[in-house]
Structure formats: C-alpha cells, structure tokens
C-alpha cells in the first residue's frame, strides 16, 4: 500500500468568527458527479469547536468550489454535553437521511475536558443538521469510565458497528495527559448501543499512549481500518489494521503507506485519516501539524 500525497487542499482563512483556526477530522460527503463536500471541525477565538464544510471536485481538488458561511453544527446549550464544542467524526447515509455522529466537548475541573458521542440528523433537501437529543448517545459507563471521542460507524445489514476512542486514564502532569485506545460496540438502530469493553485496537509500540480517529472500510476480502497513534515521546502517525469480522483486529502499521513529509505543513505529525472510494479509486483526507491547525491534506492510493 502506498499513498501518493497531492498536497494541502484547505486551511481556514480566519475570516469567519466560528472558524478562526483549525480544519480537523475531515469527512468526505459525496454530492454529485465528482463533487464532494468535505466536512471538518474548526475553532473560534474561545477555542470552541464548530462543524463546517467546503466543496471540491476530485478532478481538481486544490480548487475550492464553495464553503460554508455558517456552521453545520455549533456548540450546544448551557449545561449540555456539547456546550464547549462539537467535532464531527462519522457520517452515515441512509436513504434521504444522513446521520452525523460527533464528539461533544465539556471543559472539566481537575482534567482539561470530558467527551461524549452525540448524534445530529439531516433529512430531506435541507443542509441543516438537527440534534437527535440534547444528550449523548454514548457516554461514560462502567466499561468506558473516563471519556469517549473520535469514532467511525458502518452499517452492515441490520447491524450498526461503531469503533470509538475510549479513555483509559489520566497521566500525572500539569495539565494531566489523557491515554486511550479503540473499542467496539454494536447496535440494531444506531442509537442504542451494546458495549462490553471489547478492545478493537490496543497499544503495540514502545511508549505508545493514544490511538484515535478510526476510519473503517469493508472490502470484498476483509475489513480495513486506518487510524492515528502517538506516544509519550513521538507525535501522531497513521496506522493500519485488518480484520475478518470487524471485531478482532490485527495491527499492520508498517503497511499504512503514508507518513510525515520531510518539511512543510505535515512534517511533524500526520493524523485523523479519512479514507473513501470513488469510481474505482481510493482517497485519503488527513491532518498534519498541530492537530489540524495546518489544514487538510489529500492523497490517492497508487495501484
């Protein structure tokens, strides 16, 4: 597997109040023909995250066709699980409905934050996403005691699969540093989830402390997952795993086929991959330095 980088395709201009910096955790939403809407998360001057979009033609991805003036999703009500920010992580299209599964942010006391997973729904011809509820669809529990964050959702028959980041602990420091791996749950409707603490992808590298943003694709021969991982002494890198049943995964990070560049906007870290297919080709969106502060990159899988 070898990904050919085509370059950085987007970075917020800072002209919009809700999008002063960052374009993190990109998602590709097919509109028509070769046109894709790229959903991303940006931050305002108070560091609160909002969800926006821009559109590209895959034939010329370096040219932005259009972008949102207002956010698709903004922080929630006072006291809600997402009052301090929303971060899109997975998009599922079902008929004329699209479900956006997102991370809700709360500032916390004693640790920097706590996260839960929420749901917003877009139906009909409108571009607006409406919250399914003011509360999360996945939150802390005995199996996930600290927090839940970046995730992917895939529907297979009557089963809704989710792979999600689960907080394992907070390491001593000022502020404390979080550590997390990837876990798995299943649902019959994409709202009520059955989870038992099943670990999908666990630590493997020396000094590894965090695995994030799974992106899963079901191919004819197996399930494939891309994600990012980092350690206490190295920044995010893109990893890769394979599975026969979507539950048990074998890490094959040496086959990921993409890494940091020698210099420039993605020379320090590479993270938050999103893989999608179109007309027989496979593409990847990803972030570089600063967890998305330096923008979104685009790559194509070489045959």
Q: Which CATH class is domain 3-9+66-301?
A: mainly beta
- Judged by DSSP in three states, 46 sits in coil
Q: Output phi, psi for 148, to 5 deg.
A: -135, 140
| Domain assignments of the chain as residue spans, ordered by start | 3-9+66-301
DSSP string of 56-112, one letter each residue: EETTEEEEEEEE-SS-SB----TTSTTTTBEEEEEEEEETTEEEEEEEEEEE-SSSS
Is residue 125 over pLDDT 80?
Answer: no
Out of 146-150, 188-192, 209-213, 299-303, pick the least confident: 299-303
SS3 content of the chain, % helix, strand, coil (to 5): 0, 60, 40
Range 59-83 average pLDDT: 96
| Separation between Cα atoms, residue 112 and residue 10, nearest integer Å | 28
The model's pLDDT over 165-198, given as tens digits with 9 standing for 90+, comes to 999 999 999 999 999 999 999 999 999 999 999 9
- Mean pLDDT, the chain, rounded, equals 96
Q: Using pLDDT thresholds of 50, 70 and 90, give the confidence band for residue 235.
A: very high
| 250-267: average pLDDT | 98
- What distance lies between CA 270 and its chain's CA centroid? 13
Q: How sure is the predictor about 123, in pLDDT bands with cuts at 50, 70 and 90? A: confident
Structure confidence by residue, pLDDT tens digits, 190-226 = 999 999 999 999 999 999 999 999 999 999 999 999 9
User: How far is residue 239 from each of residues 89, 236, 266, measured CA to CA in Å?
Assistant: 17, 9, 16
């Amino acid at each position: 597997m070898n990904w050919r980088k085509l370059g950085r395709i987007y970075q917020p201009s800072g002209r919009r109040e809700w999008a002063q910096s960052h374009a993190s955790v990109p998602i590709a939403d097919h509109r028509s023909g070769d046109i894709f809407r790229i959903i991303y998360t940006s931050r305002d001057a108070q560091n609160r995250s909002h969800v926006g979009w821009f559109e590209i033609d895959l034939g010329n991805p370096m040219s932005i066709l259009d972008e949102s003036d207002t956010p698709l999703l903004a922080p929630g009500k006072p006291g809600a699980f997402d009052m301090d920010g929303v971060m899109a992580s997975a998009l599922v299209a079902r008929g004329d409905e699209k479900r956006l599964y997102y991370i809700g942010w709360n500032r916390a006391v004693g640790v920097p934050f706590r996260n839960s997973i929420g749901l917003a729904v877009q139906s009909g011809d409108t571009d607006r996403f409406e919250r399914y509820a003011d509360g999360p669809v996945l939150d802390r529990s005995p199996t996930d005691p600290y927090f839940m964050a970046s995730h992917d959702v895939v529907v297979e028959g009557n089963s809704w699969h989710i792979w999600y980041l689960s907080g394992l602990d907070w390491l001593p420091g000022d502020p404390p540093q979080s550590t997390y791996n990837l876990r798995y749950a299943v649902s019959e409707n994409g709202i009520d989830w059955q989870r038992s603490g099943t670990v999908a992808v666990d630590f493997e590298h020396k000094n590894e402390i965090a695995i994030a943003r799974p992106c899963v694709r079901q191919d004819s021969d197996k399930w494939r997952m891309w994600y990012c991982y980092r350690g206490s002494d190295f920044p995010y890198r893109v990893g890769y795993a394979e599975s026969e049943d979507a539950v048990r995964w074998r890490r094959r990070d040496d086959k990921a086929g993409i890494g940091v560049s020698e210099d420039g906007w993605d020379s320090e870290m590479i993270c938050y991959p999103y893989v999608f297919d179109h007309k027989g080709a496979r593409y990847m969106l990803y972030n570089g330095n600063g967890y998305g502060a330096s923008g979104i990159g685009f790559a194509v899988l070489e045959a």
